């Protein structure tokens, strides 16, 4: 089912998750990152690029794309956790403001480590 969902989002124009982005968990509680190393701020952005979409847009696609973009950026920095702070969405675009953290999950690897 996860594979099908990924294909559906890709066809709809959603930013796909990279291997590093897949290893990043998203949390909304600051308590979830207590004791973690702060790696810096992240701003993910996404658009609704669904084929044939002329009017209205799909905010869910834009928001999912923005979250995936933020997770990909965090993964490139070697983060394993993303603290989502704020989401701003419209009909055609969305943005996610978050903080990237390394909390000790063993499979997080920065691009510089590859």
Beta strands at 93-102 and 37-47: parallel, antiparallel or unpaired? antiparallel
The residue with greater pLDDT, 99 or 64, is 99
pTM of the predicted protein model: 0.75
* For residue 42, pLDDT beyond 70: yes
Summarised one tens digit per residue, pLDDT across range 45-76 is: 988 766 555 444 567 888 889 999 999 999 99
* pLDDT of 105: 66
Q: What's the CATH number of domain 2-104, 3.40.50.970, 3.30.470.20, 3.30.110.70, 3.40.50.150?
A: 3.30.110.70
- Residue 77 tokens read as 């920095």
* pLDDT of 38: 97
* pLDDT of 62: 86
Residue spans of the domains in the chain: they are 2-104
What's the rounded Cα separation, in Å, for the pair 65 and 73?
12
């Amino acid at each position: 089912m996860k594979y099908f969902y990924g294909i559906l989002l890709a066809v709809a124009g959603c930013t796909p998750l990279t291997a590093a982005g897949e290893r990043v968990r998203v949390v909304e509680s600051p308590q979830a990152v207590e004791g973690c190393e702060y790696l810096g701020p992240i701003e993910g952005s996404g658009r609704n690029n669904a084929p044939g979409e002329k009017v209205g847009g799909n905010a869910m696609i834009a928001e999912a794309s923005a979250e995936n973009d933020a997770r990909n950026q965090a993964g490139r920095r070697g983060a394993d956790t993303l603290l989502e702070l704020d989401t701003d969405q419209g009909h055609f675009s969305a943005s996610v403001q978050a903080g990237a953290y390394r909390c000790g999950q063993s499979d997080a690897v920065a691009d510089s480590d590859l």
